[in-house]
Structure 1
Amino acid sequence: MGAAQASNRTDVVPLSYGSPASASFPYDALQQAASDAILTQGHAALQYSGADGPAVVRQWIAERSALRGIHVTPQEVLVTYGSGQAIDFACRAILEPGDHVWVEAPTFFGALNTFRTSEAVLASFPIDEQGLRVDLVEEALEHAVRENLPLPKLLYCIPNYHNPGGISLSVFRRKRLAELALAYDFFILEDDAYSELNFGAAYLPAIYSFAPQRTIYLGTFSKTIAPSIRLGWAIASQDTAVKLGSFFHGSRASAFTQQIIGNLLSSYSLETHIGQLISRYREQRDSMLKALDKHLQGAVEYAVPEGGFFVWLRFKEEVDTGELVKYASGHGVSFIEGQQFYLSPEDGKRYARLSFSYCEAEALELGIVRLAEAYQDYQAAQAAREV
């Protein structure tokens, strides 16, 4: 991904940044929450004690999860250093080297790296406009049983506003995937980082709601409050939560940071804040799509994301976005090439992930203009090579 970030220019439009808008952070409320955590609760929050952190955070997560059909107690909520740590703990709890993990194609490259570090054997299944092709997963499970092949121990899925695909898994497929996990005895790792950023104001039921005993549900405050807070969570059945928690050494996720977030959740309307985020990101998405339709019309296609951060671009002509990203860098725009999101890089050559979350509308259009210019230069160079 280095080529997507590197440039000699100082005015690069970073469409590669899968980050929230810095202007969206609740600065004043966080300042007050942090001040209170030091001046009022510091005698405990700054000590070694802490352990699980203030109960208000886990209580809030448990109550909020009911919007997705998840009904749990705070004891089934494990607060982690971001959802990345939760993915790592799930791998440690469930996998041995050589165990099989099934993923979507494409999928989040950070999770792929964690599975590879766990020495898992990886296989992937495509997504379409309704999310993971669960029918193909079912066929593969049936084939594995017939041929006495290994079954997966874990299936990793991003059901809402997929990273990078931008699409959501249909309710029918969620339910069927849960049924398969129960029937074939594998765990689903449900990574739900973007579900709060729902432009349609409706929550789909979590996969967890259909198979709580075979699902580990992951969430995060990174997309709604701020990434550097580094607080995420895992929800799992009591016995699985105990296994996940056993991998903490010493204190769990920073008690001080949890106290700050606990204060924020108690004194600040996160519901109002999320509504403001949705309005902001919906407008930024619309600005990006309008620019794509204007400047790359006929050259690309995409599914309109109904939430989240990303547009997953497919070039209609034969393109290697691993090469195109270098031309884009020269024109002052970055994106993430599709190869990063696949087990087989060849599968991602025509694809690019663009993020509309980080930049304001004017910068988004400028970035697409530059991307279109880079694409023209790339085409010209390819044509010259063929002569």
Structure 2
Amino acid sequence: MSSILDTFAFAKRIPATPSIGSTTVTKPDHIHLSFGFAAPDLFPIELLSQSAADAVTLYGRKALQYSGSGGPGKVLHWIQQRSLVHGIQADSNQILVTYGSTQGIDLATRILVDPGDHVWVESPSFFSALQAFRTAEAHITSFPIDGDGVRVDLIEEALLEAKRNNRPIPKLFYTMPTYHNPGGVTLSLERRKRLAHLAETYNFFILEDDAYSELNFTGDRYPALYTLIPQRVIYLNTFSKIIGPGLRLGWVIADSRVIEKMRLLNLGGSIGVFTQEILAELLQRLPFQEHIDRLIAHYRRQRDVLAAALRASFGDHVTFHLPEGGFYIWLTFRKDVNTSAFVQAAADLGVSFVDGKSFFVNPEGYHHARLCFSYVNEEQLVRGVQHMADAYFDYIGRTVS
């Protein structure tokens, strides 16, 4: 059906955004291994309900104004205190509350990157970040990951070659160093130190997306890149994975001059002040470390169930790195497998996953797939993997014959 908008010229910088991983499926019995969602049974609903009621009855008349009541200040203080656990010390003028960490990616891109500037990323990388860089009309270069995170040695070689041949140095390197999405790997300490040194030497920013660091299954802590070179890192985190994504609240920590420029782009003023009022009340009531420990125990068990199901259903047809935290397992099939070729067949059988090509800058990654273990229950994990395996082996049978 034609529309009057068919002849309208929208801005060319808006890229096409196809649906990813059958995310449009709405059947109630569908198993969404594609959704990077938190477990709904772990949301602190009762405390959140009490917090929302108090936010209205005690502070509502002020909290519903543009600047809010005392909630935003309390949330800011909580971020400062919790950041100390990760070795990050930040003054209040170095912190900006955002609509999730994804807005932090957008703001960092908008203040740093002009059309034609160079942005370097990991390969694979978070697809929403890639969208932000494409929309900014940046030149994007990617570098592979292995079991220890991104290949910093290849980044260094590329920087040396760029300098030698008078080619552009990146404005920005985007990384998810801890419990990578989608790769599930963690950047080693040695590589973190080397990457920080390169950012200082070559004068570029690191955009550090630390969305999953609280979900630590082993107890081993890695220093945030921000702690190694604070003036060259823009640090992102979020309440989406630890409280609930529907809050749409995250934060940026960076040099105060960076934060000041980001504030200029927040045309509507402070972010979600009434939501911050509710969150502030919740954080005062919630025994936070107990809450985190409960999340960790649950997600670690979910990871193990998914890993066991993959071994049982796929055998040696897939390999994967067992993540030390986060939400995801990244599958690798044989090089001649195209996961995009059976993603719809899997959806028809009742399970969604994200085919690998969605996470790459260039046309590659077809023999990979991302599975999320956080959202569905254990029985659904096992059944979903079996449905996916059925679609895969049917695809293999058809391509071989």
TM bucket (normalised to shorter chain) is over 0.9
Aligned partner of 1:278 in structure 2 is 296
The alpha-carbon distance between structure 1 residues 48 and 249, as it changes in their structure 2 partners (threshold 3 A), is same
Once residues 70 and 187 of structure 2 are traced to their aligned partners in structure 1, the CA distance between those partners, rounded to angstroms, is: 33
4+ runs deviating over 2 angstroms: 1-11, 49-54
Per the TM alignment, residue 130 of structure 1 is displaced from its structure 2 partner at its CA by 0.4
The counterpart of 1:367, out of the listed 367, 379, 384, is: 384
Alpha-carbon contact 1:36-1:263 (below 8 Å) kept: yes
The alpha-carbon distance between structure 1 residues 140 and 240, as it changes in their structure 2 partners (threshold 3 A), is same
Report the alpha carbon displacement of residue 52 of structure 1 after superposing the two structures with TM: 9.4
Shift of 1:383: 2.0
Residues 1:350 and 2:367 aligned together:
yes
Q: What SS does the aligned partner of 1:189 have? A: strand
What is the distance in 2 between the residues matched to 1:51 and 1:7? 40
**Deviation of 1:31 (Å):** 0.5
Asked if 1:25 is matched to 2:43, the reply is yes
Is contact 1:219-1:232 (8 Å) kept? yes
- For 2:216 and 2:207, the matched residues in 1 are separated by 21
Deviation at 1:203, TM superposition (A): 2.5
What corresponds to 1:328 in structure 2?
Answer: 346
Could you tell me how far apart the structure 2 residues matched to 1:331 and 1:369 are?
Answer: 10
For 2:176 and 2:216, the matched residues in 1 are separated by 14
Q: Determine whether 1:290 maps to 2:308.
A: yes
Provide the residue aligned with 1:249 in structure 2: 267
Q: 1:195 aligns with which of 210, 213, 227?
A: 213
Structure 1 equivalent of residue 16 of structure 2: none
Determine helix, strand or coil for the equivalent of 1:241. helix
Do the aligned partners of 1:284 and 1:356 also contact (CA within 8 Å) in 2? yes
Structure 1 contact 52–252 (Cα < 8 Å) conserved: no
The CA deviation at 1:250 is 2.9
> Partner residue of 1:170?
188
1:31-70 equivalences in 2 (<5 Å): 31-50=49-68, 54-70=72-88
How far apart are 1:7 and its partner, in Å? 5.4
- Give the distance between the partners of 2:119 and 2:229, measured in 1 at CA: 18
* SS state at 2:331 partner: strand
1:235 aligned to which of 250, 253, 260:
253
CA contact (8 A) 1:7 1:330 kept: no
C-alpha displacement of 1:72: 1.1
Helix, strand or coil at the partner of 2:179? coil
* Matched letter for residue 40 of structure 1: L
Contact preservation (8 Å) 1:50, 1:251: no
Q: Secondary structure at the match of 2:241?
A: coil
Question: 1:7–1:235: structure 2 CA closer, same or farther, 3 Å change rule?
Answer: closer
1:184 is the counterpart of 2:199: no
- CA distance in structure 2 between the aligned counterparts of 1:310 and 1:98, rounded to whole angstroms: 33
What residue number does 2:9 align with? none
What displacement does 1:331 show?
A: 1.6
* Superposed displacement of residue 295, structure 1: 1.0
- Is 1:102 matched up with 2:120? yes
Counterpart CA distance in 1 for 2:378 and 2:259 is: 42
Instruction: Find out whether 1:119 has 2:158 as its counterpart.
Output: no
Gaps of 5+ in 2: 1-18
Work out the percentage of aligned pairs sharing the same amino acid. 49
Amino acid at match of 1:94: L
**Separation (CA, whole Å) in 1 of partners of 2:89 and 2:27:** 50
CA distance in 2, matches of 1:3, 1:243: 35
1:159 is aligned to 177
Question: For 1:245 and 1:317, how far apart are their aligned partners in 2?
Answer: 46
Q: Per-residue deviation at 1:317?
A: 5.4
Question: Are residue 221 (structure 1) and residue 236 (structure 2) matched?
Answer: no
Q: Which amino acid aligns with 2:390?
A: E
The offset of 1:9, in angstroms, is 5.8
Structure 1 position 381, deviation (Å): 1.4
* CA spacing shift, 1:6–1:33, aligned 2, 3 Å: closer
Contact kept, 8 Å, 1:339 with 1:349, in 2: the verdict is: yes
Q: Contact 1:312–1:351 (CA<8 Å) still a contact in 2?
A: yes
Shift of the 250–8 alpha-carbon distance from structure 1 to 2, 3 Å rule, reads closer
**How far is 1:11 from its partner?**
2.4
Which shows bigger deviation, 7-16 or 135-144? 7-16
Distance in 1 between residues matched to 2:201 and 2:71, nearest whole Å:
37
How far apart, CA to CA, are the structure 1 residues paired with 2:379 and 2:218?
24
Quick check: 2:69–2:277 contact (8 Å CA) kept in 1? no
TM-score, normalised on structure 2?
0.93
Letter in 1 for 2:384: G
TM-score between both structures, scaled by the size of structure 1: 0.96
Q: Distance in 2 between matches of 1:180 and 1:283?
A: 38
1:381 aligns with 2:389: no
SS, match of residue 292 in structure 1? helix
Q: State the Cα RMSD in Å.
A: 1.4
- Name the residue aligned to 2:285: 267
* 2:373 partner letter: F
Distance of 2:93 and 2:70 partners within structure 1: 10
SS of the residue aligned with 1:297? Answer: helix
What is the CA distance between 1:51 and its match in structure 2?
A: 9.0
Preserved CA contact (<8 Å) 1:312 1:353: yes
* 1:2 Cα deviation from its structure 2 partner: 4.7
